[in-house]
């Protein structure tokens, strides 16, 4: 059993430090600067977990700040990473009740957390039902990217919530997890989660993903999302789009599992989604490249809605491509 992703402990935010995984280390955050730093460095990461971190960050700030100072702190937390819409949703929800005092802000932040837990369980069950409908009842060979599991949420997970629901029923043959360069969320985090629940899995280099699909070695792709535009275009970890292309070509389902809070109706399509550019050192810091070499490090890509078989949320199965 892994420690919780994020929790509130008497005026502190406890986070499992995801930069250290597979080593288990928990950090305690007590300041707004600490929250912003933890989000930027991916101590806490994954869209739903970022929503909870944002809301708890505002709850932390509300213990010592109010008015414009609190609004400014909330804005800094909300801007720590741009692509996952859940972060700003969580921050806005907590800030919206600030005039009722710090306890009300904390209650709202804990509601964001509890709603995420409920949403993930509902997504898992709905996604398992959909994959049964699309692929049949035989144990499935599933392919995922990055980490959309309990550690990207509060518990259970979205894409890995679907895997868990199928696994409870003995219906997962194995999971192929892309390693997810450059920060290795697949190799370091998804593999840890799958091992902790006894799901057979193999990690592959990102470049192998599409050809594994083309060779008929998986039955379906299931991934999470950082932001889903109104037209169903999906932003997720860089390297998701090639899997969607390969799945379409192979004629297998490409399913996106995400809470309604990841659907951003104010963003019309994928072109309007801001893609986070991270430090090139994350790509180059391997000690194997020339010091003069430059890099480009977009953290997310956009899968157009016509490649998405279905978006599964806690409330609906949405087929944006049809």
Catalytic residue numbers, as ranges: 226
Span near ligand MRU by CB under 6 A; candidates 96-104, 108-116, 223-231, 285-293: 223-231
- Cβ proximity to ligand MRU: between 7 and 107 the closer is 7
Number of alpha carbons in the 13 Å side-chain half-sphere of residue 235: 28
| Whole-angstrom distance, CA of residue 171 vs CA of residue 322 | 28
Closest approach of Cβ 81 to ligand MRU, in Å? Answer: 7
Q: Is there binding between residue 146 and ligand MRU (CB under 6 A)?
A: yes
Residue list 229-248, contact with ligand MRU (CB under 6 A): 236-237
Q: Is there binding between residue 48 and ligand MRU (CB under 6 A)?
A: yes
Closest approach of Cβ 158 to ligand MRU, in Å? Answer: 4
Q: Is there binding between residue 84 and ligand MRU (CB under 6 A)?
A: yes
Q: For the chain, what is the HEC assignment?
A: CCCCCEEEECCEEEEECCCCCCCCCEEEECCHHHHHHHHHCCCCCCHHHHHHHHHHHHHHHCCCCCHHHHHHHHHHHHCCCCCCHHHHHHHHHHHCCHHHCHHHHHHHHHHHHHHHHHHHHHHHHHHHHHHHHHHCCCCEEEEECCCCEHHHCCCCECHHHHHHHHHHCCCEEEEEEECCCCCCHHHHHHHHHHHHCCCCEEEECHHHHHHHHHCCCCCEEEECCCEEECCCCEEEECCHHHHHHHHHHHCCCEEEECCHHHEECCCCCHHHCCCCECCCHHHHCCCCCCCCCCCCCECEEEECHHHCCEEECCCCEECCCC
Closest approach of Cβ 257 to ligand MRU, in Å? Answer: 8
Neighbours of 269 (CB within 10 A): 14
- Cβ proximity to ligand MRU: between 124 and 224 the closer is 224
Nearest residue to ligand MRU, scored by beta-carbon proximity: 224
Angle between helices 47-61 and 102-135 (to 10 degrees): 170
Span near ligand MRU by CB under 6 A; candidates 135-143, 200-208, 218-226, 287-295: 218-226
Q: Is there binding between residue 150 and ligand MRU (CB under 6 A)?
A: no
- Cβ proximity to ligand MRU: between 78 and 102 the closer is 78
Residue list 86-105, contact with ligand MRU (CB under 6 A): none
Q: Is there binding between residue 152 and ligand MRU (CB under 6 A)?
A: yes
Q: Is there binding between residue 124 and ligand MRU (CB under 6 A)?
A: no
Task: Please identify which residue in 21, 47, 65, 246 interacts with ligand MRU, judged by CB under 6 A.
Answer: 47
Task: Please identify which residue in 224, 232, 239, 320 interacts with ligand MRU, judged by CB under 6 A.
Answer: 224
Closest approach of Cβ 21 to ligand MRU, in Å? Answer: 11
Span near ligand MRU by CB under 6 A; candidates 31-39, 163-171, 224-232, 289-297: 224-232
Residue list 160-199, contact with ligand MRU (CB under 6 A): 185
Residue ranges binding ligand MRU (CB under 6 A): 42, 45-48, 84, 146, 148, 152-153, 158, 185, 224-226, 236-237, 299
């Amino acid at each position: 059993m892994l420690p919780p992703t994020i929790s509130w402990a008497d005026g502190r935010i406890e986070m499992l430090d995801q930069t250290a995984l597979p080593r288990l280390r928990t950090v305690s955050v007590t300041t707004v600067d600490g929250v912003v730093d933890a989000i930027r460095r991916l101590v806490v990461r994954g869209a739903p977990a970022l929503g909870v971190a944002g809301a708890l960050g505002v709850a932390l700030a509300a213990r010592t700040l109010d008015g414009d100072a609190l609004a400014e702190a909330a804005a800094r937390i909300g801007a720590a990473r741009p692509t996952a819409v859940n972060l700003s949703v969580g921050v806005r929800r907590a800030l919206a009740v600030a005039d009722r005092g710090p306890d009300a802000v904390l209650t709202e932040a804990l509601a964001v957390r509890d709603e995420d837990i409920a949403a993930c369980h509902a997504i898992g069950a709905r996604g398992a039902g959909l994959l049964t409908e699309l692929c049949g009842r035989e144990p499935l060979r599933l392919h995922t990217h990055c980490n959309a599991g309990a550690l990207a949420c509060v518990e259970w997970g979205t894409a890995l919530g679907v895997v868990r629901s199928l696994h409870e029923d003995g219906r997962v043959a194995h999971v192929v997890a892309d390693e997810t360069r450059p920060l290795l969320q697949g190799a370091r985090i998804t593999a840890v989660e799958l091992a902790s629940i006894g799901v057979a899995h193999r990690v592959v280099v990102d470049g192998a993903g599409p050809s594994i699909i083309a060779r008929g070695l998986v039955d379906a792709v299931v991934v999470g999302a950082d932001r889903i535009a109104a037209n169903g275009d999906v932003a997720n970890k860089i390297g998701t789009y090639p899997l969607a292309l390969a799945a379409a070509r192979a004629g297998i389902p490409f399913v996106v599992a995400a809470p309604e809070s990841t659907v951003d109706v104010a963003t019309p399509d994928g072109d309007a989604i801001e893609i986070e550019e991270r430090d090139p050192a994350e790509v180059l810091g391997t000690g194997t490249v020339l010091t003069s070499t430059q890099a480009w490090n977009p953290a997310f890509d956009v899968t157009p809605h016509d490649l998405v078989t279905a978006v599964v949320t806690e409330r609906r199965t949405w087929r944006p491509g049809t």
